[in-house]
Structure 1
């Protein structure tokens, strides 16, 4: 009989392209991954991977196994969510995935209120640049800004929230300097690999062609506050900050629509239903802030 754990390790190497990447993703050591792959190869009587200088490549036998292993994974997740969907207790773990800026600048007070209402629910807020995957049960609820609804996976169920707009912002002091006649141009502050958005009309303020680059939104906002230049930010961030002002004449731009997403049987659990209903009401009340009114 094939051990499902061996299959999980096989999938991790196939997707990561190396034993090291698989070990990192599974939070185990290098030797454990090798042992599991060796055990699967012994059970099947075939070599799954060819070791190359650039990493691990599937053999023809490995490619055959990959398709069946993926089906096993899907069945495993369906089994897990089906059983979980029967859990109607108001306790247990609730994992929510969203971007850091949504967590820290908009929804954390609401998460705190929900946690106080239901102290037996263990909340885990997964706020990072990489959103957890609902289909793989990495999270129970996802809160995302989606520009095109058709890009959402068909297996996800969503509660539609307000639209989200962004604008161009500068520090209050730098704007006052410019309005008093200062002619020094301002830098664009951008997150590395993003660049200046095409929609961001710089308005009446002159800018230089030399950007100031950061790696995350928190640093970007801090740099604007320090008067280093201007940046495109969500309206719910820029308008709420007393140290920031919109750049005169700059455009607003629609980022997308806020969605609260769940998957499969998981959405039927009582704690997930309570949370999505609670947060959707709070989000609806933020409509004017999200569109920049």
Structure 2
């Protein structure tokens, strides 16, 4: 593949190529780019015509890069990196408190702690368009999937070197069950107290660490919200962040199990993005809020039972 041929291509050509290559199908690429199926097919056909080679092998299971396509990929990723670098540098000079701000954070933090604060920030800055990506996955800040990531970090050494981070309060986890189930256990009522788990196999160690011993087959919840709902219903006991369990009036800590620190909350940004006014405003705002939540996050604010 000649370099001058690649250099004649625009970024718009390349992003279609990358979307198909990474998604493995035209359908996945169309969804990622927000266009229809026919548009992707047309753009790929035009690209192959301009290059004079087939860059994808069309199989029943999807699209696979040809040898020529693998060569194109090397140059395409270089162009993508240059595009993102240019974008973040320009973005870093943007000092207006307006525009799009993408924030990614775990679902528990969004729904059980920070949503009132995110709402307050939105009211304070009505010209900032806020997009919340509530996920536990690590968003790719380098590729601008998010401007700010709020993450639980156990070991700071695991953070990518290109990210700029600010450490917040430490986070503790405890074992919780419904207050009704705890009352029945204390009164001597018989019954199985199941361990409620998400994706764990077997019975976790915390199930037998305290005065109440979880027995029987685990109750498996598909996600965190279902896990909390199951605990409220008295199915058994489960491990939760203290800021979730202690704030829930229907739940109580399992006796004999002390909260355990699991790492800290970090507020992360990347490159020039952190210099924009809207990002700096948000980081200052959310860091102050998190500092105020330190006792709750560390499990120090639970009331006695």
1:44 partnered with 2:51: yes
Shift of 1:115: 2.1
Question: Which residue is 1:200 aligned to?
Answer: 206
Question: Which residue is 1:99 aligned to?
Answer: 106
CA spacing shift, 1:160–1:197, aligned 2, 3 Å: farther
Counterparts of 1:282 and 1:197 in 2: how far apart (Å)? Answer: 36
Question: Which residue is 1:266 aligned to?
Answer: 273
Q: Could you tell me which of 27, 39, 44 is aligned with 2:34?
A: 27
Kept in 1: contact 2:173–2:242 (CA 8 A): yes
CA spacing shift, 1:260–1:216, aligned 2, 3 Å: same
Counterparts of 2:289 and 2:236 in 1: how far apart (Å)? Answer: 33
Kept in 2: contact 1:167–1:200 (CA 8 A): no
1:216 partnered with 2:223: yes
> How many pairs were matched up?
292
Q: Counterpart of 1:245 in 2: which secondary structure? A: strand
Counterparts of 2:121 and 2:113 in 1: how far apart (Å)? Answer: 14
Shift of 1:197: 7.6
Kept in 1: contact 2:195–2:207 (CA 8 A): no
**TM-score of the pair, normalised by structure 2:** 0.90
Kept in 2: contact 1:145–1:258 (CA 8 A): yes
CA spacing shift, 1:199–1:142, aligned 2, 3 Å: farther
CA spacing shift, 1:18–1:196, aligned 2, 3 Å: same
Shift of 1:206: 3.0
Question: Which residue is 1:69 aligned to?
Answer: 76
Q: Could you tell me which of 149, 153, 170 is aligned with 1:146?
A: 153
The CA RMSD measured in Å over matched residues stands at: 1.8
Kept in 1: contact 2:267–2:287 (CA 8 A): yes
Kept in 1: contact 2:100–2:129 (CA 8 A): yes
Q: Could you tell me which of 284, 295, 302 is aligned with 1:277?
A: 284
Question: Which residue is 2:67 aligned to?
Answer: 60
**TM-score of the pair, normalised by structure 1:** 0.93
1:289 partnered with 2:296: yes
1:72-124, Cα deviation, whole Å (9 max, x unpaired) = 11111111111111111122221111111101111112222222322222222
Question: Structure 2: where are the runs of 5+ without partners?
Answer: 1-7, 301-305
CA spacing shift, 1:90–1:281, aligned 2, 3 Å: same
Counterparts of 1:146 and 1:273 in 2: how far apart (Å)? Answer: 21
Question: Structure 1: where are the runs of 5+ without partners?
Answer: none
1:219-274, Cα deviation, whole Å (9 max, x unpaired) = 11111111111111101000111110111123533332100011111110111111
CA spacing shift, 1:78–1:205, aligned 2, 3 Å: same
Q: Counterpart of 1:72 in 2: which secondary structure? A: helix
